[in-house]
Structures are given as structure tokens and as C-alpha cells.
């Protein structure tokens, strides 16, 4: 894969890259990497999530005309069609991202995640030369993993079976839980099927827990950043359940590497879905992450406990062997080092306030 500042041309020549949800956490990191490589980017975002205007301001200030803002909703068919018609590649990150929100308003969740994705695929299908589509899915498509036999240790859960402890593979049956799991799962399968039924150059990456700079985490989504932000402010962190839940965490730099490799290898990856995470070597419990934060800050965060939440998996680790074998990718940022990097970013004063001037051109 090409890197540094060497320009990479899209499969459709020098047409810009479209990132839906491009002012979000992952979209911002991808847009910045692409702009550094000399590729023009259309950031398509409705700016509804807290913090994303700051990300867009930072992108414009850092990369200037290499980044174009299109402030629009994924459900706006006319604006979406115009953006896709210009694009050489599409990274589809626009989504309703929280299980809790999906339980409160499942219709909105469906309209954004499932119907929004279907509309995007239809627009892509209508192009004379359809652009590459990479879709960001979720580990929630596998449900609660209730059949796993887990052992409860002092700080974490762990599968009894050492083979299962290597992580969930793509061979596991889909089992959508929560409206969010249903909407993202439907979108996931539509992307896979449009590649199969219509030959679209499209593939899916099913995310585990991603973290890194430009993530304004909340209690509902982006938990590593949320823990760091709350601890830095002296707020009490609520652990739902025991706090022994385990996730494999993946630094966003490694995820961007994976997405760009998937784009580059699209002829071989078309129509496939891949699990994407830090793997067993980067699997930590919530309690372990709190211990790391205590080491970073010199004081233990305040913690309270609440009941288990719907759709929460006691243990989830992604087995990314299939993607590694297909592309040669592997994560490079070790979990403790990555959490330290995010802590330094959050405390470094690099978070820019939203600038109306930087956004005015796109409204």
C-alpha cells in the first residue's frame, strides 16, 4: 500500500473520495490520511453528533481545499446522488451509532442505518462506472454470543474454550440483537448482496471497538474515549453490569490502514464481510482500561455500577485472520500505547472549537 505523501489515484482516475459521516471520528482520521496522500475528499455529514463540527473545522484548517464539506443527511436522496456521481470511491460511515438510541427511536435508527444504506447502494448502482464502496458494520450482527461458555475471573470474562478465545470468526451465524443490530445487520447484508446481485465493487468491515484521536466518546458509544474524558473531568463513570466485559480494541490508525487496503484489494474482496478488531492480543476488560487510566492520571476514576444493558455482550473479540490473510494487514498499535496516545491528544489542547466560518461555504 502506498503511504506518506505520494498521491494515490482512485479506480476512477482522480475523482474525489466520498466519506459519508466523514466528520465523525473514523471519517475524520480517514479523510486526513487521504488528504495527506494527495487525494481530494468530500466529507458528507449532517453534523448531528456532538463534536463533529470541531472535526470538520480541524480538517478544513489542516488540509484546506483538499477537503470539501457537504453538510447533508444520508436520507437526502438528491444531495447524496450528486455527491456519489462525483466520487471515485465511497466509504460509508454515516449512521445512527448507539444501541440505547435505537431502543428509544427504532424508526429513526432504521431510516438512517438500513434505508440510508439502501439508498446509497441504489445511487451507486445507477452510475455508469460504480465507485468502490466500503461499509462500516458492527460486531452487534452476531448478537449476545449467549452460547459461549465464559469463566468469570477477578477482572474479566474469558471463554472456557481456548479456540473460542482466539475470537469470533465470520463463520459464526448472524443473530441481530436490538434495533441497532437489526438496522446495521440489514445494511451489512444489503452491501454484501448488492456486490453479489449487481456486481458492485463493495465489501464490509465489521467493527469491534475503535478508539483514537478525534473521538468524542459518550456513555452510549466510543467508550474508551468516554472513560478518558469523564475521568479527566472528575466525573463518575458508570459501569453497566460487572465491568468485566471484554472487548478487543483497535486504534483508528490501524483501522484506516485496513480500509485503504480493502479499497486497494477490492477486486479480490468484493462481496465479502470481514471482522475487524485488535484481536486477542489487544483484548481488555472495562476494569483493566480503568486501571490503565489510573496509571496515566495518577488517580483512580470514580466508578458506580448500573444494570446490564440490552444487547451488551459480556465478551467479544474479533478474529481478523481472514482479512489478514487476504491483505497482509495486522494491527501495529498496542492497546496500552494507544490509550496513552488518546489520553495525550485529549489533554494536549489540540481540540479546536467549531468555526462557523470554516463551515459557511457548505451550508
Active-site residue numbers?
180
**What is the gyration radius of the CA atoms in the chain, in angstroms?**
20
Residue by residue, what is the 3-state secondary structure of the chain?
Answer: CCCCCCCCCECCECCCEEEECCCCHHHHHHHHHHHHCCCCEEEEECCCCCCHHHHHHHHHHHHHHHEEEEECCCCCHHHHHHHHHHCCEEEECCCCCCHHHHHHCHHHHHHHHHHHHHHHHHHHHCCCCCCEEEEEEEHHHHCCCCCCCEEECCCCEEECCCCHHHCECCCCCCCCCHHHHHHHHHHHHHHHHHHHHHCCCEEEEEECEEECCCCCCCCCCCHHHHHHHHHHHCCCEEEECCCCCEEEEEEHHHHHHHHHHHHHCHHHHCCCEEEECCCHHHEEEHHHHHHHHHHHHCCCCCEEEECCCCCCCCEECECCHHHHHHHCCCCCCCHHHHHHHHHHHHCCCCCCCCCHHHHHCCC
Beta bridge partners of residue 96, listed in sequence order: none
Amino acid at each position: 500500500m502506498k503511504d506518506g505523501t505520494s498521491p494515490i489515484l482512485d479506480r476512477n482516475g482522480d475523482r474525489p473520495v466520498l466519506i459519508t459521516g466523514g466528520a465523525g471520528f473514523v471519517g475524520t482520521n480517514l479523510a486526513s490520511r487521504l488528504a495527506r496522500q494527495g487525494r481530494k475528499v468530500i466529507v458528507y455529514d449532517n453534523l448531528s453528533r456532538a463534536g463533529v463540527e470541531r472535526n470538520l473545522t480541524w480538517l478544513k484548517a489542516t488540509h484546506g481545499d483538499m477537503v470539501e464539506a457537504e453538510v447533508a443527511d444520508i436520507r437526502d436522496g438528491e444531495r447524496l446522488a450528486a455527491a456519489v456521481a462525483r466520487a471515485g470511491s465511497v466509504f460509508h460511515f454515516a449512521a445512527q451509532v448507539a444501541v440505547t438510541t435505537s431502543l428509544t427511536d427504532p424508526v429513526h435508527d432504521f431510516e438512517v442505518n438500513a434505508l440510508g444504506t439502501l439508498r446509497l447502494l441504489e445511487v451507486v448502482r445507477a452510475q455508469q462506472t460504480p465507485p468502490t464502496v466500503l461499509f462500516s458494520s458492527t460486531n452487534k450482527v452476531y448478537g449476545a454470543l449467549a452460547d459461549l461458555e465464559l469463566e468469570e475471573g477477578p477482572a474479566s470474562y474469558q471463554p472456557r474454550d481456548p479456540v473460542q478465545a482466539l475470537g469470533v470468526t465470520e463463520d459464526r451465524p448472524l443473530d441481530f440483537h436490538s434495533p441497532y443490530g437489526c438496522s446495521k445487520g440489514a445494511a451489512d447484508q444489503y452491501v454484501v448482496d448488492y456486490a453479489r446481485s449487481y456486481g458492485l465493487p463493495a465489501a464490509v468491515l465489521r467493527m469491534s471497538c475503535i478508539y483514537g484521536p478525534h473521538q468524542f466518546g459518550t456513555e452510549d458509544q466510543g467508550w474508551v474515549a468516554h472513560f478518558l474524558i469523564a475521568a479527566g473531568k472528575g466525573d463518575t463513570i458508570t459501569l453497566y453490569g460487572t465491568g468485566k466485559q471484554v472487548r478487543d480494541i483497535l486504534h483508528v490508525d490501524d483501522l484506516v490502514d485496513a480500509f485503504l487496503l480493502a479499497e486497494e484489494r477490492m477486486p479480490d474482496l468484493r462481496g465479502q464481510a470481514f471482522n475487524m478488531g485488535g484481536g486477542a492480543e489487544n483484548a481488555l476488560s472495562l476494569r483493566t482500561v480503568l486501571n490503565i487510566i489510573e496509571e496515566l492520571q495518577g488517580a483512580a476514576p470514580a466508578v458506580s455500577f448500573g444494570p446490564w444493558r440490552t444487547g451488551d455482550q459480556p465478551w467479544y473479540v474479533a478474529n481478523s485472520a481472514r482479512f489478514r490473510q487476504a491483505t497482509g494487514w495486522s494491527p501495529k498499535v498496542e492497546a496500552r500505547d494507544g490509550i496513552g496516545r488518546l489520553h495525550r491528544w485529549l489533554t494536549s489542547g489540540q481540540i479546536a472549537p467549531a468555526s462557523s466560518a470554516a463551515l459557511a461555504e457548505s451550508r
